[in-house]
Structure 1
């Protein structure tokens, strides 16, 4: 038994010596600095691309009542589609913006991934509002796919219901709550989503 233990002990020491022997190389400070500078350059390039996309969308959608914001590699287009109380069908007045949005993505950013975020005003129960907001998001998603020509794998729908911290006009429903009954679009460009 002692010889088996001794062979195992020598085997472990041998592996340890081989492992340490492989660590003789090191990274030069100049190589490390160069790699870090390249990574920073890539981050700056990506930020410049996002800024350019945001500016392009701001110019294209200036005629619509939209707010466009950049956030960590994503572009959020707010106030895209609004809905009547208890309704989930896309209104005619919102279709031109959705058409333009789909066209910009199709022609210039075909790899972008879009999330249609559905919202509701607080007039219904939380469960009802969550379901209704999802129907709204799905209606916009389906419109972007079927009419706008975007790929089904490119557009997804989520529901936030009546979540209080995302209401445009807190607590409002009825005519004043139209801004709360909406679908916003979040667009991920590249590997950030």
Structure 2
């Protein structure tokens, strides 16, 4: 099976929030199924924010988002803790660079590390 470096599942968040939205949980259920097939693969969960707020604040918020997704995958679908690493990128890698405050910049992405 060919490994993809980037798994482009975007989990969206409300403004100034690290709470997992109910409408985003089905995406995580799909991600969970994929992860269970790929036992032994380590995934990085990368949190992002829009450009509202200070850089240190956004770095912390992005990490909280990644940690919340990690917690959800471990507690609700039994992904092993060791398979998931959470990091926060703050506002440094906007999905929509033309509009740094755009909703789609508030997200969590996944990367398979192998």
Aligned pair count reads 113
- The answer as to whether partners of 1:79 and 1:182 remain within 8 angstroms in 2 is no
TM-score, length-scaled by structure 2: 0.92
Partner SS, residue 161 of structure 1? coil
**Aligned pairs (5 A) from 1:29-178:** 49-50=1-2, 70=4, 74=5, 76-106=6-36, 108-163=37-92, 166-170=93-97, 171-173=99-101, 177-178=102-103
Partner SS, residue 40 of structure 2? coil
1:61-114 superposed Cα distances (whole Å, 9 cap, x missing partner) = xxxxxxxxx3xxx2x1234211111000111111111111111221x2111111
The structure with the largest helix share of the pair is 1
Partner SS, residue 98 of structure 1? helix
Gaps of 5+ in 2: none
Q: Confirm whether residue 183 of structure 1 aligns to residue 112 of structure 2.
A: no
Gaps of 5+ in 1: 1-48, 54-69
- In structure 2, what is the Cα distance between the partners aligned to 1:124 and 1:148? 33
- The answer as to whether partners of 1:80 and 1:98 remain within 8 angstroms in 2 is no
What RMSD over aligned residues (CA atoms) do the two structures have, in Å? 1.3
TM-score, length-scaled by structure 1: 0.56
Which structure has the larger Rg? Answer: 1
Aligned counterpart, 1:35:
none
| Residues 79 and 111 of structure 1: CA distance in aligned 2, closer, same or farther (over 3 Å) | closer
- In structure 2, what is the Cα distance between the partners aligned to 1:167 and 1:78? 14
Which one scores higher on RCO, CA 8 angstroms, separation ≥ 6? 2
